[in-house]
Amino acid sequence: MTDDEAHVPMTGEEKTAWVYGTVVLLTSGTYFAYMGTQLAQRPAEDIDWAIPMLITIGASIAGVIVGTIVSAIGGAVWTGIRGRFEEPDFTKDERDLAIKRLADRRSFAFLSLAMAGTLALAMLDVDTFWIGNWVFLAGTVGAIVEVTTKVRAYRRGV
Amino acid sequence: MGGPKPTRVSNRIRELRADRELTQADIASRLGVTRQTIIAIEQGRYSPSLEMAFQIAHELKVPLDQVFQYRASQDQGDDAN
């Protein structure tokens, strides 16, 4: 029986949000840093951005899967070492769903605004480099908005 | 980041649990929610759905209004004093 004074671990959903945010920052950060160096060397229309972007998306998906597994195993091992083993709890309840709804709503509102920017770029007939990277940047910031909203709601309340 | 976001719903779950020698984990497993959710409700960081509120009252074997109280506004509370 877990008493009230026992350590309170993060829920599985909060842990996943942290993993997702960390992976997105790492993979997208690397991608945009690479694109920055490319832009410094050649004009935007000569940069091959599609393959690096697809690799980044693939790395993000794989990173979230691996990160979630590693954090679950690592958390169990860590609590075991400290003598208070707790089975990973993957329960998803109404509070998790309320937090997810709030995060989805904010992320969607941001993405809707960003899509207006995409339309503007298309109307200005700019190179596909800028349109593709604008959409990717919007997706990255939308993901950060989602994760930040979730973590804040888990810590401060819904 | 400031303190927890307060709700207008306060509750006596902790006190009623103590009377019945129930832990947060006991209530959580009976309701099928995480212990963190019970903690968030007790600390006023999450207002449960009506259904969960009734389930909590049922587990604590008291009527709903003995578990949860709603504070309409600070002004009204002050007026009552």
Partner-chain contact A157 B4, CB within 8 Å: yes
Residues 70-99 on A with a CB inside 8 Å of B are 89, 91, 93-96, 98
B80 interfaces chain A, CB cutoff of 8 Å: no
Whole-number pLDDT of residue B77: 47
State which residues of chain B have pLDDT below 50. Answer: 1, 77-81
* pLDDT interval class at A62 (50, 70, 90): very high
A100 interfaces chain B, CB cutoff of 8 Å: no
User: Could you tell me the two tokens for A89?
Assistant: 């709890």
Partner-chain contact B40 A94, CB within 8 Å: no
* Chain B interface disruption, residue of A4, A8, A99, A102, most B CBs within 10 A: A4
Whole-number pLDDT of residue A90: 76
Partner-chain contact B37 A89, CB within 8 Å: no
CA distance B47 to A95: 9
* Chain B interface disruption, residue of A2, A8, A95, A152, most B CBs within 10 A: A95
AA letter at A19: V
Averaged pLDDT for residues A17-22: 97
The model's pTM is 0.83
Percent of chain A residues past pLDDT 90, beyond the cut: 76
Residues 9-38 on B with a CB inside 8 Å of A are 23-26, 32-37
Whole-number pLDDT of residue B7: 66
Whole-number pLDDT of residue A79: 78
Q: Which of B23, B36, B39 sits opposite A3 (nearest CB)?
A: B23
Whole-number pLDDT of residue B2: 53
- Three-state DSSP at B55 gives helix
B7 interfaces chain A, CB cutoff of 8 Å: yes
- Half-sphere exposure (Cβ direction) of A59: Cα atoms closer than 13 Å: 16
* pLDDT interval class at A112 (50, 70, 90): very high
Q: Which has the higher per-residue pLDDT, A74 or B15?
A: B15
CA distance B26 to B60: 11
- The yes-or-no verdict on residue A113 having pLDDT over 90 is yes
* DSSP letter string, A105-152: HHHHHHHHHHHHHHHHHHHTT--HHHHHHHHHHHHHHHHHHHHHHHHH
Q: Where are the alpha helices (DSSP H) in A42-127?
A: 50-81, 94-123
- The yes-or-no verdict on residue A58 having pLDDT over 60 is yes
